Copies of this chain bind each other. A is one copy, B any other.
Amino acid sequence: MAKNYIDFETLKYLLYDVHELESLLKEDRYKDHDKESLNLFLDSVKEFSDRELFPYVKEMDENPAHFKDGEVIVHKQVDVFMKKAGEMGLIAGPLDYEAGGLQLPIMIQTASTYIQEAANNALPGYTMLTYGSAELIIHFGNKALNETYVPKMLSGNWGGTMCLTEPQAGSSLSDLTTKATPTNDGFYKISGQKIFISGGDHQYAENIVHLVLARIEGAPAGTKGISLFVVPKNRPDGKGGLTPNDVMTVADFQKMGQRGYCTTHLGFGDTNDCQGWLVGEPHKGLNYMFLMMNGARIAVGRGAAAITMAAYQASLQYAQERAQGRKLSSDGKKNPNQEQTLIINHPDVRRMLLLQKVVAEGALSLVLLASKYFDLKESLQDPAEKEKYSLLLELIIPMVKTYPSEMGAEAVSNGVQVLGGYGFCSDFILQQYHRDIRIYSIYEGTTGIQSQDLLGRKLLMENGKALELLTAEIMESIQKAMQYDDLKKYAGKLGEKLQLAKQVIGFLVGFAKKGDYERFLSDATPFMTFFSTITQAWLWLDIATHSKQAILTGDKTHAQDFYESKIHAMRFYYKYELPKTSGQAEILMNEEVLTVAGKQEVFK
């Protein structure tokens, strides 16, 4: 039905032109890569996604992963995908050579996974969590753990998971109760329940390596008493084989979307024979997990951006093929004897498509920017520079996770609307994307949690240094844009909004200074909307500036049409999205306190 799931040209444009990947390749770590080799890599990922991912996206939704006779049954493509992805280096890609990786920049790993997720958002989760859990072992585990588990994970033979959530605790990790009892044999006995474990079990994995947060007996209360363990589904039997490790799949979760991606409820140690191996030091589990969290949050934003793009492509194609209605003539009437027009010619349909375009491309640009900061902080040598990009990354990460998830969902809903009644019908894929994307604002810390992280932690971090750095980056973009007459107006508008943001932040921080933290954070979510809308305006101005430059310098990497469409999209963003921050600022600077619980019963 839908032929395209991605705008590959725009992906490469953002990667190489706007975010200047090549400048990164000068760093020692990436010396074996150049634009040509990386493009060959991305082309192979695209070809792989065309062949092995996109054709199964609907089929996997219609035949969801499910729990049967104690086993989780997933689509057979999960097996094909994991092994081929392992072979192609798609799992290990960004790791060091010595860990079995290709030392790819995270920017390229992001682009690669983005392509896969746009093609089929149910499959890449299986490899990405495997990568994430292998990374934890590589960074913090001892040699034995590394040798035993990592190679099989990176080859796609064994899966990996992150086991955080428990039924009684939800997002509140300080309330975890899964127990680890030391033994004299180098392992701990693990017992407890974990829920919402993505990729937690299926019939094709010879083994699944769970990275489990648990509390060693006698550990302090709260988040400071949590340790990290490797708990395989099957443990080495000492004779080169595997033996069951008392990890039970209790049930699965049937879901509204991402139905091809299994979500499980696991029980550890039901018969007191579940062995776990400590990763790193006791009580530092949450620290380790959180060191990986930036990657995980980029991944969520990336997945949401990918679905947004796929939905945009599907609805764009529909609008370019479907004739319906007529254009208005100058007297406001329509002539029924005229031929019908393609719906893409109706302004309201164009508005919905352009909204999708600015969200899809803008979200992608944000995700790539975060990946770039990640690469810079990892690969640069100068400690001051490392710190700079580390702070910038920390500051934007809650937006990277949230903007694509929240605005992506709105964009996809516009995609459904473009198709009218067909958008609601199972024969068309838009309704699936609408269901699939809904999880992203919940994954890995809900929007509410991200928003509190942004306002309550990141803005104030190191006396506001991260915010100063970001402001400087934005000012630099404004300066550049100011050089072009066509862009001056927009650059000026962004400058105004930056001032407005300062004012809003000052107002809100006032509550923190008075010790009223609950009030300070009570509007964190509207603040997230406000601040990420401005951040996106910055990214769009930057895209437009690059495009303008390319037109003026006669750069033929892309067609003139292509560059002009980017400038048009920026203008659309500045007309239809950025002004929303005016109302948002009013909301945020309103003195009334209406959502802090008090004596009054407000839910009558």
Chain A residues with a Cβ under 8 A of chain B? 165, 169-172, 174-175, 195-196, 221-223, 253-257, 316, 320, 322, 324-332, 334, 336-337, 340, 344-351, 353-354, 357, 409, 413, 416-417, 420-421, 423-427, 431, 434-435, 438-439, 441-442, 446-448, 451-452, 456, 512, 515-518, 520-526, 559, 561-562, 564-565, 568-569, 571-572, 575-576, 579-584, 586-587, 590, 592, 594-597, 600-604
Contact = CB atoms under 8 A, between A and B. Distances in A.
A475 to B, nearest CB: 23
A254 B58 CA distance: 14
Given A426-B254, A597-B345, A221 B442 contact: no
Contact of A604 (B413, B559, B584): B559
Copies in the complex: 2
B597 A587 contact: no
B604 A561 contact: yes
A426 B322 CA distance: 34
B424 A442 contact: yes
A326 to B, nearest CB: 8
Q: List the 6 shortest-distance A-B pairs measured between CB atoms, nearest first.
A: A222-B336, A347-B522, A579-B586, A256-B431, A583-B583, A332-B517
Contacts of A435: 256, 435
Given A438-B416, A522-B347, A590-B579, A196 B421 contact: yes
A171 B579 contact: no
Residue from A256, A438, A586, A597 with most neighbouring chain B CB atoms (10 Å): A256
24 contacts: A170-B322, A172-B325, A172-B326, A195-B421, A223-B336, A253-B421, A253-B425, A254-B426, A256-B431, A328-B521, A331-B515, A346-B448, A347-B522, A347-B595, A348-B452, A409-B413, A417-B441, A420-B446, A526-B576, A562-B604, A569-B602, A580-B580, A580-B583, A583-B583
Nearest to A562: B604
A525 B351 contact: yes
A192 B221 CA distance: 71
Nearest to A416: B438
Contacts of A326: 172
Given A409-B413, A579-B584, 5 more contacts: A172-B325, A348-B452, A417-B441, A562-B604, A582-B586
A523 B328 CA distance: 14
A253 B426 CA distance: 8
